[in-house]
Amino acid sequence: MKSVDITHRLNVFQEACERLGLKITHQRMEIYRAVIMTENHPDAVSVYHRVKKRIPMISLDTVYRNLKLLAKHGLISIVGLSQESLRFDGNMTPHHHFACVKCGMIRDFNSPAIGHLPIPEEVKGFGSPVSVHLEVKGLCATCKKSSRRN
């Protein structure tokens, strides 16, 4: 992401925190920046490693608590539901995911067509739909290449 975009998104983030009554701390800003800087949908440990370069004293627990807090307030989102490795997503615009079943790589893609798919009647019995998210599972290009070599 371009640095102008990052600055813009950090400003938007600050405004959102103010609106939500969340304290804007240096740590919190750096944690958010670490999530939006990458397209990798990082887990807490990789966010921690990134932030640690800028704030050496930070603990994994602090990073984890902040990520959960940001997700709770809708500033980032949680991808997947496996408790042992929550992944975080800084892209809050509607989008879909490609997930590699081997290495866990997750990438965003857009498809207006998928967004407009008719929602089955059955779903309406569960509640009111807000958005449609599609996950395409597969082998990423890197994993595909290495499996061909073996």
Q: What crossing angle do the helices spanning 3-20 and 26-36 adopt, rounded to 10°?
A: 130
Indicate whether 143 belongs to the interface with Zn ion (CB under 5 A): yes
Query: What phi and psi, each to the nearest 5 degrees, are found at residue 87?
Result: -110, 145
Indicate whether 140 belongs to the interface with Zn ion (CB under 5 A): yes
Give 106's strand partners.
99
Indicate whether 36 belongs to the interface with Zn ion (CB under 5 A): no
Total binding residues toward Zn ion, as defined by CB under 5 A: 9
DSSP class of residue 93 equals: S
Indicate whether 145 belongs to the interface with Zn ion (CB under 5 A): no
User: 3-class DSSP state for residue 97?
Assistant: strand
Residues 81-120 interacting with Zn ion (rule: CB under 5 A): 89, 91, 100, 102-103, 105, 108
CB of 21 to Zn ion, least distance (A): 27
> What CA–CA distances, in Å, run from 8 to 11, 14, 29?
5, 10, 13
Nearer to Zn ion, 31 or 105 (CB): 105
Q: Which residues of this protein are in contact with Zn ion, per CB under 5 A?
A: 89, 91, 100, 102-103, 105, 108, 140, 143
